[in-house]
Structure 1
Amino acid sequence: MAQPTDKGRAMPICVFDIADDGSTTVPSNTDLTGPARYRWWHFDLSDPLLAQWCESHLPEIPAGALLQSETRPRCDSFDGGLILNLRGINMNDGQPAEEMVSIRMWVTDAVVITVRLRRVFAIEDIRQSAQAQMAPPNPAGFISELVTRLTGRVQSEVASIAKLTEFFEADLEDDETPIPNELTQSRRRVIRLRRYLDPQRAALNKLATEALMPPKSQPALRELANRTTMAVEELDALRDRLVAVQDDHDLDVARRQARNSFLLSVGAGIFLPISFLTGLFGVNVGGMPGINSPWAFPILCISMTVLALILVFAIRRMRWI
């Protein structure tokens, strides 16, 4: 697909003029807006010329928001437009899903600008729809479709963690089951997801009230915000459940260690007096009783056995074992 080019200017990943019916054309000029319903620009943050392009085409504050290396979800109105930062599940190969990818946006009634740092599959889906002449017909529809795709993937990821947590809880019924290697990783996944989903919930709630979004799209956005709220609440519950699973495993390990230590202490209590006797009668000095008697050794062994039985009986009477 051909892209508009201009020497010394940023090269977008894609750019489309999108009509009211969702049909698209690739513009041949580098103007910010076009003759269609709206123009969509999609950039990579690593483009060295992106900063120059933003400074020459956009107000200072939206330009700075698009160029931030680190973002958190936000939704702020500015001069008739909308500064919108969202996060989505990381579906890039070899990267953890909980390291959520960010999408930076500047939206007006005539233009949508999106900037990514890593590949965002929800944006790629919209890009494929645009190539198939089925793009969202207006900026509000673009935002709604993007939020819908991001929220759906978030719910799927939370559901997968919930299923794994149920497996961990079922394992607790077997005292011999070791601590799962995935338990700590799952706890980290929950923490990282919640870090971004909580502010994203607030951003979506605010988005549903923005003037740029038509009244007919606001109920759907409120529903998406509610689904994000439910995901955050589920993550809170999962965090507590995973902590409980970890505590149960830690308690089981502590109980086993205490039991083993107790048994060793009981064994030492039984054999310590016997060891004292063997040490005493093993002294190689004159005057030891029984040196010249062939019955001395059997008598000593029987005496130590009797002593051991007496100690075991005494320990059981004290209910130590």
Structure 2
Amino acid sequence: MPICVFDIFPDGTAKVPDDAALTGPGTYRWWHYDLSDPDLADWATNRLPAIPAGALLQPETRPRCDLYEEGLILNLRGINLNAGQHADQMVSVRMWVEGNVIITVRLRRVFALDEIRQIVIAQAAPLTTAAFIEALVGRLTARVQDEVMRISKLTEFYEADLENDTTPLPKDLPATRRSVIKLRRYLEPQKNALVTLSTIDLPIVTETDALKLRELANRTTIAVEELDALQERLIAVQDDHDLDVARRQARNGYALSIVAAIFLPLGFLTGLFGVNIGGMPGIENAWGFAILCISMVGLAGLMYLVLKAFRWL
């Protein structure tokens, strides 16, 4: 069974039909299905052409906009707002639009479609199939812009932290970079699909509708361009942190090298004088140990002066 089905009339009112026909008496009939519905495959195969039916039933999709005879195959992606799931795991909407029928299929809950369903129930439905598409694309695009803005603010926070050299690498920076990559993966083809949609030659898409769709395509293009910029900025933040770590390691390694250079001859002397064989000088001298210690301090001072002279310190 569909999640919902409505007949939409010219004044925006809606009624649940009492028949199972593909189309109804209104301006258009909207069918909304879940992809996991066991009856969907038979229903789509028996009522739709093979290619649109197959497009609706695909388990994995990417954004697309293609004409098929007098109808439109449209796949879109939206921000995932489902509880316990990541926003960048974008939800998909599969659509078939033809004259006086709209069929939408989703795998995971799409809040934009839920909002449209509520306004249909409130008797304020989109008046035409083109208006329905505009309402859906507008809601999906608004959520994309909100998510991109959230990442942009997070990136500004990362960049501000760079002013403090003691600030460690943000733990969520790698996750943010992956999120940008995942979002861009779908939004780039979605931008192309919306540009195609705004220029498509179909009776259902009037010039006014095309202008509105072009504006939505432009907003998606801006979001993609912002993601490109964010990707570069996040790489720069990562590189700056990596460079700071490398500088610290170099300083620490340099300090250890200086300490080793000073203590290497001292270690040689202590090893030499620690040999337990006859003939070692100073064994019978009560001041032997003190003289050795003073000599080692003097040698350490001499090594320091040598390193200073060679400007290694």
TM-score range, shorter chain: over 0.9
Paired AA for residue 241 in structure 1: R
Paired AA for residue 299 in structure 1: I
The Cα shift of 1:219 comes to 1.2
The Cα shift of 1:139 comes to 0.3
Q: TM-score, normalised by structure 2?
A: 0.98
Question: In the alignment, is residue 154 of structure 1 matched against residue 144 of structure 2?
Answer: yes
- Rounded to whole Å, the distance in 2 between the matches of 1:232 and 1:127 is 28
2:296 paired residue number: 304
SS of the residue 1:34 aligns to: coil
- Rounded to whole Å, the distance in 2 between the matches of 1:316 and 1:223 is 68
The Cα shift of 1:109 comes to 1.7
1:204 paired residue number: 194
CA deviations over 1:115-169 (Å, ceiling 9, x no partner): 0000000000000001111110110000000000000000000000000001011
Question: In the alignment, is residue 286 of structure 1 matched against residue 275 of structure 2?
Answer: no
Question: In the alignment, is residue 26 of structure 1 matched against residue 16 of structure 2?
Answer: yes
Question: In the alignment, is residue 83 of structure 1 matched against residue 70 of structure 2?
Answer: no
Question: In the alignment, is residue 226 of structure 1 matched against residue 224 of structure 2?
Answer: no
2:62 paired residue number: 72
- Specify every segment of 5 or more residues in structure 1 that has no aligned partner in the other structure, as ranges: 1-10
Percent identity between the aligned chains?
Answer: 64
Q: TM-score, normalised by structure 1?
A: 0.96
Question: In the alignment, is residue 105 of structure 1 matched against residue 104 of structure 2?
Answer: no
2:268 paired residue number: 276
1:3 paired residue number: none
CA RMSD after TM alignment? 0.7
**Aligned mate of 1:181, from 171, 180, 192:** 171
Paired AA for residue 289 in structure 1: P
Paired AA for residue 230 in structure 1: I
- Rounded to whole Å, the distance in 2 between the matches of 1:219 and 1:27 is 33
**Aligned mate of 1:235, from 227, 242, 257:** 227
The Cα shift of 1:316 comes to 1.5
The Cα shift of 1:313 comes to 1.1
Paired AA for residue 298 in structure 1: A
- Rounded to whole Å, the distance in 2 between the matches of 1:278 and 1:192 is 62
CA deviations over 1:72-108 (Å, ceiling 9, x no partner): 0000111111000000000000000001000000001
Paired AA for residue 145 in structure 1: A
- Specify every segment of 5 or more residues in structure 2 that has no aligned partner in the other structure, as ranges: none
Give the aligned length.
311
1:49 paired residue number: 39
**Aligned mate of 1:115, from 85, 105, 108:** 105
